[in-house]
Amino acid sequence: MMERVRRPLRRVQIQPSAKTEEDGEKAEALDGGKERLQLSTSVSEMQEPFMGVKARRGASLHREYNGDYLKVASDPFLMKILEKHGDTKVLFADSVLKFTGSGKIKRRGFLITEMSIYIVDLEAVLLKRRIPLSAVQKILLSELSDNYFAIIVQSEYDCLMASTRKSEIVSVLAEATKDRSISEIDICFFNRFEYRASAENIKEVQFEEVEGGVKTKVLGKSSLK
């Protein structure tokens, strides 16, 4: 049996809505496969697109970036996914928490390459979603020291996720589109924002600074049916 990476994630305080159906992720089963892989670890703190707007957590101010926390080159399942889609250079790989359209929280593998974002169910050995970087319009974050970020996708439903390595993820995505023919990704900061949780539903995320941390609410906003 293939060994899966399990890392402890920071506990987040949420109040999710459970009124919608599971979002429409397409599952793709893959197994086996090997290919040489290039790993990039060139992103530095100086390249982060925060410009003093974001209230950074103390632990992230002096954190070194490693890029591949899933050891992609030694995982045949992940290598097969990249091989099938013609990707050979991994910029980032780690486990994240993903919020589904029904309000559930799922642990997912999250990979960024030079061409795409991959969201993977590591336990079920399924590729849940592939998002070309050219389809990513913007990344939404709060101005507070939390772990949440939303990826806004053109003509599709969006992704709300949480990661203790959010700063690295945002930096890698910004850098990956900076000097390419595709449009550069916008990084936006709001303590309240909306995202398309599924093809039929919009949700609102609210952030509030409280004693001891940040309180986060994920609320059902409206239906697009």
Q: What is the pLDDT along the chain (225 residues), one digit of tens a residue?
A: 444 434 444 444 444 443 434 455 545 544 444 444 554 444 444 344 443 455 555 555 545 678 999 999 999 999 999 999 999 899 999 999 999 988 899 999 999 999 999 999 999 999 999 999 999 999 999 999 999 999 999 989 999 999 999 999 999 999 988 866 656 789 999 999 999 999 889 999 999 999 989 999 999 876 655
pTM: 0.75
Give the tens place of pLDDT for each residue, 23-49: 555 455 444 444 445 544 444 443 444
Which of 43, 39, 45, 40 lies closest to 59, judged by CA? 45
Pick the CATH number of 28-223 from 2.30.29.30, 3.40.50.1100, 2.30.30.90, 3.90.550.10: 2.30.29.30
Residue partners of 160: CB distance under 8 A and separation at least 6: 98, 99, 148, 149, 150, 195, 197, 203, 205, 218
Which of 148, 221, 139, 135 lies closest to 172, judged by CA? 139
What integer pLDDT is reported at residue 177 of this predicted model?
Answer: 84
What integer pLDDT is reported at residue 187 of this predicted model?
Answer: 94
What integer pLDDT is reported at residue 4 of this predicted model?
Answer: 42
**How far are the Cα atoms of 21, 24, 67, 78, 109 from residue 124, in angstroms, in the given order?**
20, 17, 24, 12, 11
What integer pLDDT is reported at residue 28 of this predicted model?
Answer: 52
